[in-house]
Homo-oligomer: A and B are copies of this chain.
Amino acid sequence: MDKSKTITAKLGIDVGGTDVKFAVIDNNAIVYRSKIPANKESVDAILNEICDECKKIAKEYPYSSVGVGVPGIVYDGLLTTINLPFKNTPVAKEMEARIGMPVAVDNDANCAALGEVLGGGGKIYRNAVLITLGTGVGGGVIANGEILRGRGCAGELGHIIIQSENGRKCTCGQTGCLEQYASAKALVRQATEAAGEHPDSMLAQLYRENGELNGKLFFDALHKNCPVAEAVFDKYLDWLCVGIKSFQMIFDPEVILLAGGITKQGDNFLKPLKAKLGEGINVKIATLQNDAGVFGAANLSM
């Protein structure tokens, strides 16, 4: 190893409820990966195990800074999480003391947005919105080239209210949140309801055969031209469009990136969505997807 060579590599860490993913990024590419289980016992336990892994990786592939994405709120340098033991924990400071290197910490959805913007196709956007369609609707916003943070909780894109009257109750306490209509979970719910209403449909048949519906079964029915699945998808895209249009009005971004399992449908998803949105909204499928978190985390110090 030539010690005189400037180290350009950065370590990105994506802390999840189950695993902690590590990736060394060099020259805009992931050059090393590893993973450890998330220790939920105590703040010290999880930080020690993460920092031990950092040290181990440094021997394999030296890096000059560390960025960490965590599912929680970072306010004034203090991290608070729901599914992990952090509570007003100065994570960056604690880690810097353990590994002797600059550490930056941010919310995981913010890291994903930054990762997609920096790494997605190589084009850097100054204004971009990432919408992740999963169990919920998450996301992050890059405005004026920076992560939109507010007081620490900005970018709760799934919780804009899109149905004021007779809206569905949301887990957040509000009613009518986008998440209740445009998440992958909502799509499966809408499909299950439609299967119940149309017992002769292919969708209903798949439901009976499998005891339930999921995303895969729904798209199976859709690709086999089940008209009930088609109607469900059409309506689902309408709901999603409402969210996308609102974000366009608010942020006027150069691009709106979509991520999550549904987007694996590629053009089958994107083409009808674009047709509904019309001109003026540049919507694309995110390219990094599950790697966006580590990628953005590594670039937090930028």
Contacts and interface: CB of A to CB of B under 8 A. Distances in A.
Contacts of A146: 144
A88 interface: no
Nearest to A161: B242
A26 interface: no
A153 interface: yes
A263 interface: no
Nearest to A177: B249
A162 B162 contact: yes
B160 A246 contact: yes
B245 A150 contact: no
A185 interface: no
A148 B150 CA distance: 12
A159 interface: yes
A164 B252 contact: no
B245 A155 contact: no
A302 interface: no
Interface in A214-260: 238-239, 242, 245-246, 249-254
Interface string A251-289: 111100000000000000000000000000000000000
Nearest to A75: B252
Contacts of A161: 162, 242, 245-246
Interface in A159-184: 159-165, 174, 176, 181
Secondary structure at the A interface, as helix, strand, loop or mixed, is loop
A143 B146 CA distance: 10
Contacts of A152: 252
Contacts of A165: 163
A149 interface: yes
Of listed A159, A160, A165, A253, residue having the most chain B CB within 10 A: A160
B156 A238 contact: no
A154 interface: yes
Interface in A107-158: 127, 141, 143-144, 146, 148-157
Given A162-B164, A174-B245, A246-B161, A150 B238 contact: no
Contact of A252 (B149, B163, B251): B149
Given A146-B144, A238-B164, A156 B254 contact: no
A143 B148 contact: yes
Given A143-B144, A174-B245, 7 more contacts: A127-B150, A141-B250, A153-B252, A156-B252, A160-B250, A164-B239, A250-B250
